Amino acid sequence: MTFVRVGGVPHHVVVEGSGPVCVLSAGLAMSWFDWDPVVPLLAPHRTVVRFDRPGHGLSGPAAVPPSAAGEAHRIAGVLDALGLDGPGQDGPATVVGHSIAGFHAEAFARLHPARTAAVVLVDSSVEEHARVPAAPALRTAAARTLGTALAAAGMPAALGPFTRRAMVRLSRTGGGDPAPAALVRRCYATSRVLQGALLENTHYRAVAAELLALRERHVMPDVPVTVLAATAGGARWVERQRALARQLGGRFEAVEPAGHLMMLDRPEAVARAVLDNYSPRVGRAGRAVRAARDGSGSASQPLA
């Protein structure tokens, strides 16, 4: 593991394996180790990059509220800091986003099309009609005030690891939290992670609304897209995920049995989607092809 500075904030990053780059970004309040079951399946074939967003895992506190564009540029900044996707490297990256990070992965593809090889959305958040909430600055201040008050009362140390364990258990179709107890306490007993989760949750609707606006202004690049839906979410949830795949011109797969934390329930399904979802247009020649195509507005056709 290492730390790289992006936007003035130290980001905890873990890089494993070799080959084309694959970036794994977890959902709200999740950490790098939540991808542990998936990484051994990918590392023989991919350079796997895991990072914690500010206020998550071991990264520094969030300096600013999250935004769709900001999170897309954060992924690019992490790759830049690692020296990946540059001259002589393995080309564009497959970006994998779980839950709210699905917003970030799609935003990355739209804002950095020449750096995108493929997109995999793992039970991604979906908001078809989101609107920007009023008074964002007041919402930020309220989230920080609440976090400070809870930290002063000792809530992170007292309840943070327990809450983490309970949420993981509820978000799976079977089994508890496989994360080591020492790592869970190191992350979730801190006010930093509590503040980060509160801030992302507070601005969830704003990020969703911003992504809807990005869809109007930036076409989805002509790269493979796969949308994985956890069947434990119910029939209505699965249909919303299917509609997202159609909108993005991507392939859809309902994964059963799987809860929202699909990477823990069905890591082989996530790995298969990544490995089967790779565009061969990599390297400098591939980047030139994609850059020339960016203005065409072309989009791949649905595969399922």
Each residue of 232-272: pLDDT tens digit? 999 999 999 999 999 999 999 999 999 999 999 999 999 99
Backbone torsions φ then ψ of 240, nearest 5 degrees: -65, -40
Each residue of 148-203: pLDDT tens digit? 999 999 999 999 999 999 999 999 998 899 999 999 999 999 999 999 999 999 99
Beta-carbon count within 10 A of 138 CB: 10
CA–CA gap between residue 48 and residue 45 (Å, rounded): 9
Is residue 302 over pLDDT 80? no
Pairing of strands 9-17, 47-51: antiparallel
CA–CA gap between residue 232 and residue 216 (Å, rounded): 31
Q: Work out the pLDDT band at 89, boundaries 50, 70, 90.
A: low
Distances (CA, A) of 227 to 108, 188, 202, 237, 278: 16, 29, 25, 12, 14
The pTM score is 0.91
Distances (CA, A) of 160 to 31, 166, 210, 254, 264: 14, 10, 30, 32, 20
